[in-house]
Amino acid sequence: MSQERASPPRHETLQQQVEELCGATVRASANEPGFHFRARRPELNGRPSGIRAPHLQADLQIDDLRSFRGAADGIALRLQHSDINLHRTLSPPSPTGELLFELMEQLRVETFATLQGTQANLKHRFRSWCAHFCASQLTETHVGLLVYTIAQVVWSRLSGYPVEESTEGLLEPQRMMLAPHIGGALAGLRKARHQQAEYATHALAIVQVIDELVQQLDTPDKQAQQTKEIAKTINSFGLIIYPEEDQEGLMPGTQVGQQSVSMAEMLARYRIYSTHADREIPATALIQPAQQAKLRQQLNEQIQSQGVNTHRLARALHKALSTHCQDGWQSGEETGHIDGRLLPKLITRPGDHRVFQHHRHAPVSHSTVTFLMDNSGSMKAHANAIAVFLELFTKTLELTGTPTEVLGFSTRSWQGGKLYKSWQREGRPDNPGRLCELQHIIYKAANTSFRRARPAFATLLKPDIYKEGVDGEALLWAAQRLLARPAQRRILIVLSDGCPMETATHLANDEHYLDNHLKQVAAQIEAHSQIELYALGFGLDLSRYYRNSLELDLPTPLENKVFMDVIRLLQR
């Protein structure tokens, strides 16, 4: 079999890696160990940080690495010097006003940068954002031009830098028009920058002027066009990034109805039309012996071509999963606790002071690991690579003495199967809930040795096991199995390439029904101290569902680096 050259990491993977580095910078600079990026959004202690300034959203497709460093420096300063609760309380209600108020507060804290390198990074990031804003032609709209003018004028007044020379001619008419109305407030911004509440009064005065101008432009005959301009400006370049406050207890981005409900209530409201045809089945029962032997041989050939040192990985993995436990005593030391057995030495050999002992500690792993693989149709494209990855990782875990379970989930048929037809015959009652027959697959049980489980791994190469996916229920199933295992550290790793999708359920319920359920289940497990939840995304960033996730590229052949990336994820 010919070997392909390892492909470079995808854009999404690089974005995630760079954001993780930036997150480490923010954690160190702001002394905030709970800070992370999740789905490109800054998060603090698992909740939205409230930082939504437009120029802090960098994208590798249009921005350089220095822009990411500038954004990280800006976030760190915001965490250090801004009271987010006060900011939320004072934030104006209008979309344009909210945007400008957020931007001006961020520019305020950036004036507190003292290091020249940090100042240069912040300057570079802001000017890069301004260049992209102009290149998008947003300055050709009335609202966009007003936003850009205020951004430039406030930044120049606070930082002492001149406005962008290339757009000075564009700004001058706007500045002359605005000067009589916001001149006093601009002067107050610089003087009050050390007092957030006082600074906010001047910022709100500027916002009020801009809101009035936007309202004057919003005449009845231009209302539709004006609405489009505002929406375009607000939604471009991350100006409004995410909802500031999610519904009570819900994961960010969860779609709900008009009534706010708690996560427990949302989970309780998840409906299942029928569980009669659901099944939990060993993987070997899904494949004929002859086909299994053929696919097993195919998988063997692929594994033999890999350049992976499992023994080296086992040492790294054992270190990542272990804690140091007391393992007896180390005698013959010159300090520590007196060892009564060696006291005669003080008489027979007065010069020998090695009569003490220390506690001896050794790394011991009391962990158990579960892999939960998405067996939906889109995963067929990754099936060969993931089968190799799972087999090698499971083998490595067994070398460390870590019990490992490998599970999969799919549906028994496409588009609901018999259950969907039954619902149709019964008159299509509204909101039936999950409307398909689940198939939960056991490739390797925790008590099964790797050698005995190897034939089942061949089933991963069987194309017709890949149908549709109901991720939330599968996650609950895997978690319940994991909780039944005696272990100090329980690790659940999901392998997926997308959001939940089951056609019948999607058509008969709210379009976010399965998506919301997955977010709620993941949030519940992450809040459960007994399980550590991780996700490996293939072609997709899964951070919108899972707090700890990694987008994984599987090169051909596999390399130790891929496994080390996952091991580092487990050490976060």
Note the pLDDT tens digit of each residue in 425-461: 999 999 899 999 999 999 999 999 999 999 999 999 9
C-alpha closest to that of 464 among 441, 448, 444, 494? 441
Does residue 233 share a domain with residue 193?
yes
Does residue 395 share a domain with residue 331?
no
Does residue 523 share a domain with residue 427?
yes
Written as six digits, the tokens of 404 are 């490992």
Compute the distance between CA of residue 156 and CA of residue 162 in angstroms, rounded to an integer: 6
**Considering the domain boundaries, does residue 166 fall inside one?**
yes
Question: Is omega for the bond preceding 557 within 30 degrees of 0, making it cis?
Answer: yes
Does residue 537 share a domain with residue 426?
yes
Does residue 463 share a domain with residue 334?
no
What CATH number is attached to the domain comprising 514?
3.40.50.410
C-alpha closest to that of 469 among 510, 508, 493, 497? 497
Choose the final residue of a domain: 181, 209, 238: 238
**Considering the domain boundaries, does residue 289 fall inside one?**
no
CB under 8 Å to 120, separation ≥6 — which residues?
none
Compute the distance between CA of residue 534 and CA of residue 522 in angstroms, rounded to an integer: 10
Can you list the alpha helix ranges (DSSP code H) found in 309-361? 310-321, 345-348
Inter-helix orientation angle 142-159/168-191, to 10°: 50
Does residue 383 share a domain with residue 347?
no
Q: Is the pLDDT of residue 147 over 50?
A: yes
Compute the distance between CA of residue 295 and CA of residue 185 in angstroms, rounded to an integer: 73
Compute the distance between CA of residue 527 and CA of residue 48 in angstroms, rounded to an integer: 16
Amino acid at 569: L
**Contact predicate 128/160, CB 8 Å:** no
Written as six digits, the tokens of 505 are 């359920």
Give 536's strand partners: 495, 550
Q: Is the pLDDT of residue 478 over 60?
A: yes
Does residue 342 share a domain with residue 440?
no
Compute the distance between CA of residue 403 and CA of residue 371 in angstroms, rounded to an integer: 11
Least confident of 38-47, 368-377, 398-407: 38-47
Q: Is the pLDDT of residue 297 over 90?
A: yes
Can you list the alpha helix ranges (DSSP code H) found in 136-242? 142-159, 168-191, 196-217, 223-235
Q: Is the pLDDT of residue 138 over 90?
A: no
Give 323's strand partners: 364
Place of tokens 């007196």: 338
Does residue 342 share a domain with residue 229?
no
Looking at residue 234, what is its pLDDT? 53
**Considering the domain boundaries, does residue 377 fall inside one?**
yes
Does residue 525 share a domain with residue 378?
yes
Looking at residue 23, what is its pLDDT? 86
Place of tokens 């494209």: 381
Q: Is the pLDDT of residue 391 over 60?
A: yes
Mean of the per-residue pLDDT values for the chain? 84
pLDDT tens per residue, range 237-259: 444 434 444 433 344 444 444 33
Total structural domains within the chain? 3
**Considering the domain boundaries, does residue 290 fall inside one?**
no
Angstrom CA distances, 354 to 60, 328, 336, 337, stand at: 60, 18, 10, 11
Neighbouring CB atoms inside 10 A of 394's CB total 22
- Name the strand (E) or helix (H) holding 120: helix 116-135
Confidence bin at 120 (pLDDT 50/70/90): very high
Written as six digits, the tokens of 148 are 């850009």
**Considering the domain boundaries, does residue 65 fall inside one?**
yes
pLDDT tens per residue, range 504-526: 999 999 888 999 999 999 988 98
- Mean pLDDT for 297-306 is 90
DSSP state of 319: H
**Contact predicate 32/571, CB 8 Å:** no
C-alpha closest to that of 73 among 32, 108, 127, 22? 22
**Considering the domain boundaries, does residue 248 fall inside one?**
no
Can you list the alpha helix ranges (DSSP code H) found in 192-309? 196-217, 223-235, 263-268, 289-304
Report the Cα 143 to chain-centroid distance in Å.
Answer: 33
Looking at residue 3, what is its pLDDT? 38
Inter-helix orientation angle 65-81/116-135, to 10°: 110
The bridge status of strand 367-374 relative to strand 489-496 is parallel
Compute the distance between CA of residue 543 and CA of residue 566 in angstroms, rounded to an integer: 15
Does residue 219 share a domain with residue 113?
yes
- Mean pLDDT for 29-49 is 83
Does residue 91 share a domain with residue 125?
yes
Does residue 197 share a domain with residue 137?
yes
**Considering the domain boundaries, does residue 557 fall inside one?**
yes
Confidence bin at 140 (pLDDT 50/70/90): confident
pTM for the whole structure: 0.72
Looking at residue 318, what is its pLDDT? 87
Looking at residue 10, what is its pLDDT? 61
Sign of CA dihedral 380, 475, 370, 465: negative
Full domain range(s) for residue 333: 326-362
Choose the final residue of a domain: 190, 214, 238: 238
Choose the final residue of a domain: 315, 344, 362: 362
